[in-house]
Amino acid sequence: MGACCHQPHDRSTRADDHSEPAGEPAIWKIGAGLLLAGNTMTVGLAISSVDAAHNITLFIYIALFASVVIIFELLGWPLAKGAWQGLKAGQINFDMFFLIAVLAAVAASMVSIATEAGAVYFEVAAILLVIHGIGRRVGTVNRRRALDAARSFGPEETTAKRRGNNGQLETVSVDRLEAADRVVVGPGDLIPVDGTVYGGVAMVQDTEITGESFATARRAGDTVFAGSYSVDGTLEIEATATAGDRVIDQVVDSVQQAWQRPSRWQRQAREAIRWFVPLVLLTTVATFIGWTIAVDWTTGLFHALAVLLVACPCALGFAVPLAVWMTMGKWAGRGLVPAHGQCVETMSRVDTVVFDKTGTLTEATPGLVDFVIDDGAPVDGRRLRQLIVAVEEQIDHPIARALQTLDRDLSSPCCGPTVVVESTRLVAGLGIEATVRCVDTRYRLQIGSTELVDELHDRESQRLQQLQQRVYLPATARLVAVVVDSRVAALAVVDERTRRRVDQGLQRLRQMGMEVGIMTGDATERTERFELDWVHAQMTPVEKRDQVRRLQHKGRTVLFVGDGVNDAAAMATADVAIDVEGGAQLAAGVGDLRWSGDNLESIAGAIDAARRAFSVVRFNLGFATIYNVGGIAVAAAGLLHPVVAAVLMMSSSLFVTWTTTASLETPSSPPDTIDRSTIFSPQTSAIQK
Q: Is 683 within a domain?
A: no
The length of the chain, given as a count of residues = 689
Q: Is 273 within a domain?
A: yes
Query: What letter does residue 441 receive in the DSSP assignment?
Result: E
Q: Is 69 within a domain?
A: yes
φ, ψ for residue 427, nearest 5 deg = -105, 110
- Low-confidence stretches of the chain (pLDDT < 50) are 1-23, 150, 153-154, 211-214, 409-415, 417, 583-587, 668-689
Helix (H) or strand (E) holding 77: helix 77-88
Query: What letter does residue 566 receive in the DSSP assignment?
Result: G
Q: Is 247 within a domain?
A: no
In 510-615, DSSP assigns E strands to: 515-519, 534-536, 558-562, 576-580, 593-595
Instruction: Give the CATH number, domain containing residue 167.
Output: 2.70.150.10
Sheet holding 159-163, edge to edge: 169-173, 159-163, 182-185, 235-241, 194-199, 223-224
> Would you state the pLDDT for residue 256?
55
Residues 518 and 458 in one domain: no
Q: 650 with 135: CB under 8 angstroms?
A: yes
CA contacts within 13 A on the Cβ side of 139: 29
- What is the C-alpha separation between 232 and 364, in angstroms, rounded? 28
The per-residue DSSP string of 164-191 comes to: -TTS-EEEEEGGG--TT-EEEE-TTPBP
- CA gyration radius, the chain: 34
- What is the C-alpha separation between 434 and 387, in angstroms, rounded? 10
Residues 343 and 438 in one domain: no
Q: 687 with 368: CB under 8 angstroms?
A: yes
Measured in whole angstroms, how far is the alpha carbon of residue 205 from the centre of its chain? 18
Q: Are strands 431-438 and 420-427 parallel, antiparallel or unpaired?
A: antiparallel
- What is the C-alpha separation between 162 and 199, in angstroms, rounded? 14
Residues 6 and 121 in one domain: yes
Which residues does residue 423 pair with via DSSP β-bridges, in sequence order? 435
* Residues sharing a CB contact under 8 Å with residue 66, sequence separation 6 or more, in sequence order: none
Q: Which of 687, 598, 601 is nearest to 363 (CA)?
A: 598
Q: Is 316 within a domain?
A: yes
Helix pair angle (122-151, 77-88), 10° resolution: 80
Residues 445 and 567 in one domain: no
Measured in whole angstroms, how far is the alpha carbon of residue 155 from the centre of its chain? 15
Give the Cβ contact number of residue 501 at 10 Å. Answer: 19
Residues 31 and 113 in one domain: yes
Give the Cβ contact number of residue 185 at 10 Å. Answer: 26
Q: Is 220 within a domain?
A: yes
Contacts of the segment 42-47: beta carbons below 8 A, 24+ positions apart: 44/120, 44/122, 44/123, 45/123, 47/120
Which residue, of 495, 526, 549, is where some domain finishes? 495
- What is the C-alpha separation between 104 and 102, in angstroms, rounded? 5
Query: What letter does residue 152 receive in the DSSP assignment?
Result: T
Rounded to the nearest 5 degrees, what angle is found at the Cα of 124, between the Cα atoms of 119 and 125?
110
Q: Which of 609, 608, 579 is nearest to 596 (CA)?
A: 579
Residues 467 and 375 in one domain: yes
Residues 407 and 486 in one domain: yes
Q: Is 673 within a domain?
A: no
Which residue, of 559, 576, 596, is where some domain finishes? 596
What are the C-alpha distances in Å from 186 to residues 28, 189, 200, 203, 235?
42, 5, 10, 11, 7
- What is the C-alpha separation between 62 and 645, in angstroms, rounded? 26
Residues 266 and 145 in one domain: yes
Residues 516 and 467 in one domain: no
Residues 111 and 258 in one domain: yes
Query: What letter does residue 243 receive in the DSSP assignment?
Result: T
Q: Which of 358, 598, 605 is nearest to 501 (CA)?
A: 598
CA 564, 567, 572, 574 torsion-angle sign: negative
Give the Cβ contact number of residue 418 at 10 Å. Answer: 11
* Structural domain count, the chain: 4
The per-residue DSSP string of 199-226 comes to: E--EEEE-HHHH---S-EEE-TT-EE-B
Domain coverage including residue 146: 2-152+253-333+608-665
Sheet holding 202-205, edge to edge: 216-218, 202-205, 229-230
- What is the C-alpha separation between 578 and 343, in angstroms, rounded? 10
First-to-final CA distance of the chain = 67
Q: Which of 131, 107, 109 is nearest to 120 (CA)?
A: 109
Q: Is 672 within a domain?
A: no
Helix (H) or strand (E) holding 78: helix 77-88
Which residues does residue 421 pair with via DSSP β-bridges, in sequence order? 436
Say whether 573 sits in a helix, a strand or coil. helix
Give residue-wise pLDDT tens across range 272-325. Answer: 666 777 788 889 899 989 999 998 887 887 888 788 778 765 556 666 777 777
Instruction: Give the CATH number, domain containing residue 526.
Output: 3.40.50.1000
Q: Which of 430, 462, 436, 321 is nearest to 384 (CA)?
A: 436
- What is the C-alpha separation between 589 and 568, in angstroms, rounded? 8
> Would you state the pLDDT for residue 478?
81
Residues 574 and 506 in one domain: yes
- What is the C-alpha separation between 185 and 191, in angstroms, rounded? 6
* Residues sharing a CB contact under 8 Å with residue 567, sequence separation 6 or more, in sequence order: 356, 541, 544, 560, 583, 584, 587
Helix pair angle (297-310, 642-665), 10° resolution: 0
The per-residue DSSP string of 248-309 comes to: HHHHHHHHHHHHTS--HHHHHHHHHHHHHHHHHHHHHHHHHHHHHHHT-HHHHHHHHHHHHH
Query: What letter does residue 455 receive in the DSSP assignment?
Result: G
Characterise 650 by phi-psi region: left (phi > 0), alpha (psi -120 to 50), beta (else): alpha
Q: 254 with 150: CB under 8 angstroms?
A: no
Residues 237 and 259 in one domain: no
Which residue, of 564, 596, 628, is where some domain finishes? 596
